[in-house]
Amino acid sequence: MGAAACGSESIVRKPFGKTPEGQAVELYCLTNRNGMQASIMTYGGIVVSLTAPDRDGRYADVVLGFDRLEDYLAGHPYFGALIGRYGNRIAKGRFTLDGTPYTLAVNDGENHLHGGIRGFDKAVWQARGAIEKTGLEVALAYASADGEEGYPGNLAVKVVYTLTDSNELKIEYSATTDKPTPVNLTNHSYFNLAGQDSGDILGHELAIAADRFTPVDKGLIPSGELRPVAGTPFDFRQPTAIGARIEQADEQLQFGGGYDHNFVLNRRQEGALELAASVYEPKSGRLMEVFTTEPGIQFYSGNFLDGTNVGKGGKVYNRRNGLCLETQHFPDSPNKPAFPAVILRPGREYSTTTVYRFSAQ
């Protein structure tokens, strides 16, 4: 039985196996009034499945992943996972904060990626499901210890997923700390709006509300420049097929093996929930709109997928079979004083919101 088969109740909680350390993992299956379903597990806070209607009202699972916990435990490229303590890269796993140098776990060449060797994507989160006026909610909590993966401070993290009757998956992230620390939380879902088993995403039409992006070096660390997208393959200000320019001779596309870049979102009001990106899949008519309070979004075109992951229903995920739109602060911000600040201090609360809204045209 696939993970998306959840039953008819609004919130169903079921056992989803055990970690090698013997920790029980649960799967929360949410079904809204329209029949849209989201299933989220306590291991990694992973969105295991998410259905969305096409223009004829037919639901399909639009996120990559696996049917069984074992496949997630065996290793995977962050399918559906919560990412922390710091999403994306920190150069050489090093930064200095209030004059003190810190060294983080290095897990991506010479750099630190997505929180390190055992990031929040591999933690078992405490969970509570509830039916609220705003929708069906799964509240997840995780206590990240002082020194975990090299980060300073005990960080209390909370992530609330809400499935609304407007076919939105809302993700609210919050955190507090007892020592200053960088924090940058996101979700790493891989979307394929034709359905998770439908091949590449090159025909998806993407729009990103960004006049600028952050170019990177070979190791995908931003140079610090905020470069205009105008006249480059990074101009998604009008909806454009992802495949239209991905093979162009362009140094930035070469470094990423395709798109793997942070976009600087145009903001009307800093910290407000605004439309950041939209993706339209012409065959099914499915549309996904991404709203966020964050200043940036990482558009990753699934370049590292290489057929080694056998996903739901036995589907082999090949190169560019899914795309990620990871709302975030800019990569390597702890080493880039000109980028928006990412340091959380005791007495302050980290709080961000991202909404993925699904419809069809």
Whether 281 is catalytic is: no
| Torsions phi, psi for 111 (to 5 deg) | -110, 165
Nearest CA to 47 out of 35, 65, 67, 31 is that of 65
CB of 23 to ligand GLA, least distance (A): 24
Instruction: Please state whether 247 falls in left (phi above 0), alpha (psi between -120 and 50) or beta.
Output: alpha
Q: Which of 3, 30, 69, 113 binds ligand GLA (CB under 6 A)?
A: 113
Q: Which residues within the stretch 301-320 sit at the binding site for ligand GLA (CB under 6 A)?
A: 304
Q: With CB under 6 A as the contact rule, which of the stretches 140-148, 160-168, 297-305, 312-320 interacts with ligand GLA? A: 297-305
Number of residues that bind ligand GLA (CB under 6 A): 11
Peptide bond into 68 cis (omega under 30): no
Lay out the site mask for ligand GLA across 124-163 (x = CB under 6 A, - = otherwise): ----------------------------------------
The full DSSP string for 70-98 is: HHHHT--S-TT-EE-SB-SEEGGGEEEET
The full DSSP string for 235-254 is: --SS-EEGGGSTTS--HHHH
Q: With CB under 6 A as the contact rule, which of the stretches 46-54, 138-146, 296-304, 312-320 interacts with ligand GLA? A: 296-304
Cβ-based neighbours of 204, under 8 Å, separated by 6 or more: 192, 193, 241, 242, 279, 280, 281, 323
Does position 26 bind ligand GLA by CB under 6 A? no
**Catalytic residue of the set 112, 188, 204, 261:** 188
The tokens of 250 are what?
């362009």
Q: Which is nearer to ligand GLA, 221 or 360 (CB)?
A: 221
CB of 95 to ligand GLA, least distance (A): 18
Lay out the site mask for ligand GLA across 208-227 (x = CB under 6 A, - = otherwise): ------------x-------
Whether 76 is catalytic is: no
The tokens of 20 are what?
């090698």
Judged by DSSP in three states, 345 sits in coil
Q: Which is nearer to ligand GLA, 167 or 262 (CB)?
A: 262
69, containing H or E segment: helix 69-73
Q: With CB under 6 A as the contact rule, which of the stretches 68-76, 132-140, 171-179, 298-306 interacts with ligand GLA? A: 298-306
- What is the set of active-site residues? 188, 326
Q: Applying CB under 6 A, which residues contact ligand GLA?
A: 77-78, 88, 113, 220, 260, 298, 300, 304, 324, 326
